[in-house]
Amino acid sequence: MVVASSTGTGPNHVAVIMDGNGRWAKHRGLKRSEGHKKGVVAVRELIKNAVDAGISQLSLFAFSSENWRRPALEVRLLIQLLNNTLENEVDDLHQNGIRLKILGDLERFDSRVEAMVRNAESLTADNQVMNLNIAINYGGRWDIVNTIQKMVAGGCSSDEISEEAISHSLSTGGIPDPDLFIRTGGEHRISNFLIWQLAYTELFFTDTLWPDFGKGDLEAALQWYMGRERRFGRTSEQVVKGEH
Ligand code: IPE
Ligand code: IPE
Ligand code: MG
């Protein structure tokens, strides 16, 4: 566990709720879908800036298990945009040494989508520059329920159910918990993102709407993070002494 960012350690894992595409479009008299398209441009920029900042894990919330409640046309356009973006960007990601992992329940999509995702994951599996985790049809509660179901189906007994075992079986198994969480768009909530994994994450909220989120906004979040003292239940004096 990385203790005390106030000693100057940058975040290893950054998780982002990219919110505000719809409002960005509305403010300009455009359709919500235009906001989502502009949001993709901001994602591309964030990936590049995150690599430059030395972040090793970047987790992005692209579509929540609750987003199916939106009007059917918006859902259709969002899924289409996600598919096309993934398909078009995979080669570029691979060339830049980025390892892709999709978090979420892919059973809701047709099997071609699942096959495309699995191919992209295996193509990029050995890349080491940065891990990019994209959450699609993801919900933190789904992740926990799915994990417990897998453990029970695998014959796990009650004394084998531990925090470590659950962490290991979640869709983020093997990925350290986020150090820094960023939510754009002004809402101060987690919206069922990585609820288990965010237990001790530093939470940064900004009013910037996702399509406007640029290098300066990432730098502001990283700067803010560097000023946090992460105590994990200890006292400040213990942290200063470096007791683990
Ligand atoms: C985030 O922007 C994108 C997704 C949830 C897919 P929104 O579409 O939620 O934008 P607002 O919050 O309505 O402005
Ligand atoms: C969270 O944003 C989900 C994603 C960014 C994918 P929402 O806009 O769906 O969140 P709520 O509904 O306002 O909490
Ligand atoms: Mg929103």
Between the CA of 82 and the centroid of ligand 3 the distance, in Å, is 16
- pLDDT value at residue 2: 43
Nearest-angstrom CA–CA distance, 211 and 214:
8
Look at residue 8 in the predicted model and tell me its pLDDT: 66
Q: Does the CB atom of residue 61 touch ligand 1 within 6 A?
A: no
Domain count across the chain = 1
What confidence score (pLDDT) does residue 3 get? 43
* Secondary structure in 3-state letters for 56-118: CEEEEEEEECCHHHCCHHHHHHHHHHHHHHHHHHHHHHHHCCEEEEEECCHHHCCHHHHHHHH
The full DSSP string for 21-47 is HHHHHHHTT--HHHHHHHHHHHHHHHH
Q: Which uninterrupted H or E stretch holds 217?
A: helix 215-226
Distance from Cα 22 to the centre of ligand 3, integer Å: 7
pLDDT at res. 9: 85
Given 19, 143, 177, 179, the catalytic residue:
19
Q: What is the pLDDT of residue 4?
A: 46
Residue range(s) defining the domain that contains residue 168 = 4-241
Query: Which ligand ends up closest to the CA of 21?
Result: 1
- Given a contact cutoff of 8 angstroms between Cβ atoms, the answer to whether 17 and 61 are in contact is yes
Residues having CB closer than 6 A to ligand 2 are 17-19, 61-64, 67, 187, 189, 191
Digits of tens for pLDDT over the chain (244 positions)? 444 455 468 999 999 999 999 999 999 999 999 999 999 999 999 999 999 999 999 999 999 999 999 999 999 999 999 999 999 999 999 999 999 999 999 999 989 999 999 999 999 999 999 999 999 999 999 999 999 999 999 999 999 999 999 999 999 999 999 999 999 999 999 999 999 999 999 999 999 999 999 999 999 999 999 999 999 999 999 999 998 7
Q: CATH code at 107? A: 3.40.1180.10
What pTM value is reported for the model?
A: 0.96
Region of residue 155 (phi > 0: left; psi between -120 and 50: alpha; otherwise: beta) = left
Ligand 1 contact, 213 CB (< 6 A) = no
pLDDT at residue number 243:
85
**Tokens standing for residue 118:** 């699995």
67 as an active site residue: the answer is yes
